[in-house]
Amino acid sequence: MRNPPKDGGLQAHGGPMFPRGTALLATPLLNKGTAFSETEREVLGLRGLLPPRVFSLQEQAKRVMGNFRRKSDPLEKYIFLSALQNRNETLFYKIVEEHIEETVPIIYTPTVGQACLEYGANFAQPRGLFISIRDRGHIAEVMSNWPHTDVRMIVVTDGERILGLGDLGALGMGIPVGKLSLYTACAGVHPYYCLPITLDVGTDNLSLHDDEFYIGLKQKRVRGAEYDDFIAEFVAAVKAHYPKALLQWEDFGNTNAFRLLGEYQDKLASFNDDIQGTAAVALAGVIASLRITGARLRDQKLLFLGAGEASTGIASLFVTAACAEGLSVAEARSRCWFVDSNGLLVRNRPGKLPHHKEPFAHDHPYLPTLSEALEAVRPTALIGASGVPRTFTREIIARMGELNERPVIFALSNPTSKAECTAEDAYTGTGGRAIFASGSPFPPVTLNGRTHVPGQGNNVYIFPGVGLGVLAAESRQVTDSMFLTAARTLASLVSAEDIAVGRLYPAFNKIRSVSLTIATAVAEEAYATGLAQRERPANVEADIAARMFVPHYRDLV
């Protein structure tokens, strides 16, 4: 990964170094708004197009934050920041980086869920590429319309399983846009390298077919061979146009997510954040919880509510980690139990099990409910990734507290409205003994004079650092062992102060340094395993740090 061209990759062949006048003001990577100097205004044809006073970046940021904070509705804040990003990316990332705890819940979870639901009604300016099934046979041509020629980071969705909200079709574009914003804000991946893509193959959400503002194809989802051929053509176009790109599969339905990951994981640098990123951040939380319980990882027994991409991904990575502690694969899998919409996952349950569930189906009498499974399994950790809110009832939480001195309870479903329980539910239901983490943020809870600070087990702790490390080493693949390395590294960064207040993840305002440490560990693994296509620098961490994007204005003349 090198620094992008000084002109942001926007220099036309044989043309001027930069766009001029209104064209320059309409180029988000180069636009500085009122911060253009007197000389720049004169040379670049901006005189008269801007008010006469020149402002600094810091002065602009102060004005933006004042306007941002005057908006009380999170969705209005999201729209405000999106407009800023489409106008002036440097200023956007300046305020996100300096106010990361305040802005990330707006540009991503939990607000991004509502933003996706209303993406069509609020659509103002396109960002990224929309590639539809109607573009079959011409995907490479569509991809060539993107103005940047050296894309390194692609996040792609087909919109079938957006957070816990289900099939949103083309409205899911808010997710790739948001994830790439986090790559830049949290790990310093230059926005020039980033490309969000939505693959529109239709939607089975019939309410969108009747929505007058829906921006996608109003047809049922394409599936089967036609879908697979479409994806194959898309991947071929990515490899041809952007051979050094890392491809992140995002929010695909269970039917396709595991299949696509298995098909393409070894063919290009790619991963599925819903499966592997979620697994790593959850496993990091479990590892960190051992510092509170004093137990060993190999002795944990996990009960999952939900058996989709997130839950089975967590279990698979747990198995890898437990095997490293001496368990066999069979023994490690026996520590993982699942309750899905059809009850306890057991081998003799009627109906054919999906491929990703088969390894975790145990020989045990069938039980229809979570409460019955809880009694039978007696887990040390209860992990929710079901997308069904408030399913960790008062009785379930209380029973976890009876079974364990320090019960581990993770409510990982996003957005907040889909969480299996709240932080307050977990703490009050166990007399403050719960070790709690969630997918969306919850405020601290004070109980019996003690303040508990819930950790947010959000994938943002994992995927930006993993992606940065892969790009820095130019790794040919993204391996499962890289995610195990990322999980262990993240857990090691939880401080004694974090543990003292019950938080299983580092303070979010440290996310840039967390991402750098994870990136370094991942890059080192790529070098050690021979996957890196770039020669190892003398100091990997210093090399990566020097390449991280810092939002400041550059002189254009």
Average confidence (pLDDT) over 108-123: 95
Q: Would you place residue 173 in the very low, low, confident or very high pLDDT band (cuts 50, 70, 90)?
A: very high
Q: How many CB atoms lie within 10 A of CB 447?
A: 13
pLDDT at 117 over 90: yes
Residue in 93, 108, 183, 527 annotated catalytic: 108
Alpha carbons 404 and 292: distance in angstroms, whole number: 12
What count of Cα atoms within 13 Å lies in the side-chain half-sphere of residue 183? 29
At 17 the pLDDT is 63
Judge whether 169 and 159 are in contact, CB under 8 Å: yes
214 is catalytic: no
pLDDT in tens, 423-465: 999 999 999 999 999 998 899 999 999 999 999 999 999 999 9
% residues pLDDT > 70 (the chain): 97
Alpha carbons 281 and 490: distance in angstroms, whole number: 8
Kindly report which listed range (91-95, 290-294, 455-459) carries the lowest average pLDDT score. Answer: 455-459
Mean pLDDT rounded to a whole number for the chain:
95
Q: Would you place residue 8 in the very low, low, confident or very high pLDDT band (cuts 50, 70, 90)?
A: very low
pLDDT at 1 over 70: no
pLDDT at 388 over 80: yes
pLDDT at 11 over 50: no
Average confidence (pLDDT) over 393-413: 98
pLDDT at 2 over 60: no
At 9 the pLDDT is 40
pLDDT in tens, 200-254: 999 999 999 999 999 999 999 999 999 999 999 999 999 999 999 999 999 999 9
pLDDT in tens, 352-367: 898 899 999 999 999 9
Q: Which amino acid is at 18?
A: F
Q: Which of 170, 3, 99 is nearest to 543 (CA)?
A: 3
pLDDT at 187 over 50: yes
Q: Which amino acid is at 553?
A: Y
Average confidence (pLDDT) over 362-378: 97
pLDDT at 13 over 80: no
Alpha carbons 38 and 478: distance in angstroms, whole number: 47
Token pair for residue 382?
A: 């209860």
Tell me: cis bond preceding 415? Omega within 30 of 0 counts. Answer: yes
DSSP state of 62: H
> What's the whole-model pTM score?
0.94
Q: Which of 319, 314, 317 is nearest to 333 (CA)?
A: 319
Token pair for residue 65?
A: 């934050």
At 352 the pLDDT is 84
Residues 6+ apart with CB under 8 A from 217: 132, 133, 134, 169, 170, 200, 201, 202, 203
Q: Which amino acid is at 26?
A: A
pLDDT in tens, 120-172: 999 999 999 999 999 999 999 999 999 998 999 999 999 999 998 999 999 99
Token pair for residue 510?
A: 């440290």
Write out the DSSP string of 343-357.
Answer: EE-BTTSSSPPPTTT
Q: Would you place residue 73 in the very low, low, confident or very high pLDDT band (cuts 50, 70, 90)?
A: very high
Judge whether 93 and 184 are in contact, CB under 8 Å: yes
179 is catalytic: yes
At 440 the pLDDT is 87
Residue in 179, 192, 227, 242 annotated catalytic: 179
pLDDT at 12 over 80: no
Average confidence (pLDDT) over 173-185: 98
- Structural domains in the chain, sorted by start: 121-268 (3.40.50.10380), 273-557 (3.40.50.720)
pLDDT at 3 over 70: no
Alpha carbons 57 and 68: distance in angstroms, whole number: 16
Alpha carbons 85 and 124: distance in angstroms, whole number: 13
Q: Would you place residue 490 in the very low, low, confident or very high pLDDT band (cuts 50, 70, 90)?
A: very high
Which helix (H) or strand (E) covers residue 467, if one does? helix 463-473
Residues 6+ apart with CB under 8 A from 76: none
Q: Would you place residue 350 in the very low, low, confident or very high pLDDT band (cuts 50, 70, 90)?
A: confident
